[in-house]
Amino acid sequence: MKKIIAIAFTMVSVMAYSQEPVKILPLIPMPKEIKQLDDEFVMTNKTKVVLLNDKLKPEVDYLNNYLKTNYGFELQIISSLPKEGNYIYITQPEVQSGLTENYDLMMNQNQLLFSVENNAGLFYGIQTLIQLLPLEKTVAGVLGEPELKIPCADIKDAPRYQWRGMHLDCSRHFFAKEDVKKYIDYLAMYKFNVFHWHLVDDQGWRIEIKKYPMLTVVGSKRKETLIGKPGSDKKPSPTDKYDGIPYGGFYTQEDIKDIINYAAVRHITIVPEIEMPGHSMAALASYPQYSCNGGPFETWTRWGQSEDTYCAGNDSTFAFLENILSEVCDLFPGKYIHVGGDECLKDRWKTCAKCQKRIKDEKLKDENQLQTYFITRIEKYLNSKVKQIIGWDEILEGGLAPNAAVMSWQGITGGIAAAKQKHNVVMSPGKPCYFDHYQSKSKKTEPLAIGGFNPLDSVYAYNPAPKALSQEESKYIMGAQANVWSEYITDFSKVQYMSMPRMAAMAEVLWTPIDKKNYKNFIGRLKIHSKTLDKMGVNYCKQFQNKK
Ligand code: ACM
Ligand code: ZN
């Protein structure tokens, strides 16, 4: 049966293949291989889905849910070829190669054929199909049947990188569960597979931990928030202004499970970030006994780096963090836990008797090696829970913990150093992967941002593969991600603005083969795709619309 269908497909496809593209297909990211065809597949409420393996049903349910929400109808699922009418046929190759994210999609006016090894491949194929659907249904016949006219193409697709990440800082500003789900929807649309969830920082602890209720009673709240830019990143300055409005919010463990499940349906793994040893003021405001000097502290109301951190000389600090991580590991099914590690000032450690004793007892050279001791001890614990740690590139400072992966944000040198040491790496250099930076120089249109300048074209041009690495070393680059820090992103509409359409450009960096990338072509597709963003109610930066 499969063979007959394949032969029929080849014949129709050859007949219908046109030398000239019929029209711009608004696919983002651009697939690995695509041949546009003259035909059209008209999906109606009579179109059937032929599904031979029930294991793939969740992805068909996802499609049906999308159709129902957006066009008011869904497709009947059957297990053999229909006697009449067009259909979607989902097949799996007899020989599995293990490339679970790949998919082939072959189309003619009668059939739309997916060949996928596994659920992820079908999910990405369905995302492609969704991007080919018209914005609005048309109606036909005396009964006014809904119709979706889909331009045909033959597509063979596969991702360039295994880690295709987007980050969101929910500490500096808190985003409601429904908004986090919308963000995950954007990731799914662009075939990202990692959501790096920054849940903890100086300005707010946002994850319920049952054993330590004060983390949310105290640490999820701050008494007010800095307005605009501070006079100095280092310490409060007399010109700083505050809004006087209490701010707070956190996700219950039930919320978190709900979001994890929502992401899992979309083939997105969540990497939670629990910051240590720095960026820990919200935790220390709640439990000051785990600092070097005992506090008291407040959840921070301004941005920057704190001199106060977890005490590395106190064994009870590690018991506290391990108990927290135990709950985090029970919640999050993914392999990686992000332990932060960035911007840890070592001032307190230099004067803390317990930290200095630890340095002496462990025969460490200095405070940088004390940081390595800290991260390695946490790594050992997380490895015992069958998890891997990932941390910002400062975890290289005193030497890497044995199994740590590195997220390179201070440029690419940390990533290069880690790859040369045979550690896995995610590239996320501030330039161009920080989406809290400006994307336009127009003072009139741009809302306040932290600084920097990462316009759409620079994101699009980014290549996560450093030239300094040999082919062998490059294998440690798992991929890349873009980060949305929220010091100056006060609401979800601004999250949308800062991430769109740069997220679309990043998607193409991570998915599309480098020789298939073309910025002009991307802008052409984006112009059409932006109508979908309009329909979704996304507040995006419209600078690209002026480009030819
Ligand atoms: C960072 O931006 N501090 C990772
Ligand atoms: Zn200490």
Q: 365-385, pLDDT tens digit by residue?
A: 999 999 999 999 999 999 999
Whether 152 and 170 map to the same domain: the answer is no
Whether 474 and 524 map to the same domain: the answer is yes
Owning domain of residue 540: 163-546
Instruction: Give kind and range of the element (H or E) at residue 406.
Output: strand 405-408
Whether 108 and 184 map to the same domain: the answer is no
Among 13-17, 103-107, 227-231, where is mean pLDDT lowest? 13-17
Q: What is the pTM of this model?
A: 0.96
3-state class of 507 per DSSP? helix
Spacing, Cα 28 to ligand 2 middle (Å)? 49
Where are the extended beta strands (E) located within 158-314? 163-169, 194-198, 200-201, 204-205, 221-222, 226-227, 241-242, 247-248, 269-276
Whether 137 and 182 map to the same domain: the answer is no
Taking CA atoms only, the protein residue closest to ligand 1 atom 3 is 342
The predicted structure's pLDDT at residue 333:
98
Given 98, 129, 157, which residue is the final one in a domain? 157
Whether 119 and 172 map to the same domain: the answer is no
What is d(CA 370, CA 292) in angstroms, rounded to the nearest whole number? Answer: 14
The predicted structure's pLDDT at residue 14:
42
Name which of 314, 135, 283 is nearest 211 in CA terms: 283
Q: How many CA atoms lie within 13 A of 196 on its CB side?
A: 26
3-state secondary structure 37-79: EEEEEEEECCCEEEECCHHHHHHHHHHHHHHHHHHCCCCEEEC
3-state class of 330 per DSSP? helix
Q: How many domains does the chain have?
A: 2
Given 100, 131, 157, which residue is the final one in a domain? 157
Whether 172 and 153 map to the same domain: the answer is no
Whether 334 and 438 map to the same domain: the answer is yes
What CATH number has the domain bearing residue 172?
Answer: 3.20.20.80
Instruction: Give kind and range of the element (H or E) at residue 481.
Output: strand 477-482
Whether 217 and 344 map to the same domain: the answer is yes
Whether 231 and 292 map to the same domain: the answer is yes
Which ligand lies nearest to the CA atom of residue 351 in the structure? 2
Q: Is the CB of 450 under 6 A from ligand 1?
A: no
Given 157, 182, 198, which residue is the final one in a domain? 157
Per-residue pLDDT tens over the stretch 427-440: 999 999 999 999 99
Q: For residue 7, what are the contacts with CB-CB under 8 A and spacing of at least 6?
A: none
Please state the φ and ψ torsions of residue 212, each to the nearest 5 degrees: -130, 75
Whether 143 and 20 map to the same domain: the answer is yes
Q: Is the CB of 409 under 6 A from ligand 1?
A: yes
Whether 458 and 516 map to the same domain: the answer is yes
Q: Which amino acid is at 468?
A: A
Where are the extended beta strands (E) located within 137-289? 138-140, 145-157, 163-169, 194-198, 200-201, 204-205, 221-222, 226-227, 241-242, 247-248, 269-276
Per-residue pLDDT tens over the stretch 257-282: 999 999 999 999 999 999 999 999 99
The predicted structure's pLDDT at residue 251:
99
Confidence of residue 181 (pLDDT cuts 50, 70, 90): very high
Query: 94-121: b or e for each residue (b if 16 or more CB lie within 10 Å)?
Result: eeeeeebbbbbbbbbbebbbbbbbbbbb
The predicted structure's pLDDT at residue 16:
44
Whether 434 and 298 map to the same domain: the answer is yes
Distances (CA, A) of 139 to 74, 76, 176, 340, 436: 15, 19, 37, 53, 43
271, 273, 343, best to mutate for ligand 1 pocket (most atoms within 8 Å of CB): 343
The predicted structure's pLDDT at residue 11:
45
Summary mean pLDDT of the chain:
95
Confidence of residue 15 (pLDDT cuts 50, 70, 90): very low
Q: Is the CB of 457 under 6 A from ligand 1?
A: no
The predicted structure's pLDDT at residue 1:
47
What CATH number has the domain bearing residue 72?
Answer: 3.30.379.10
Name which of 164, 124, 163, 165 is nearest 32 in CA terms: 124
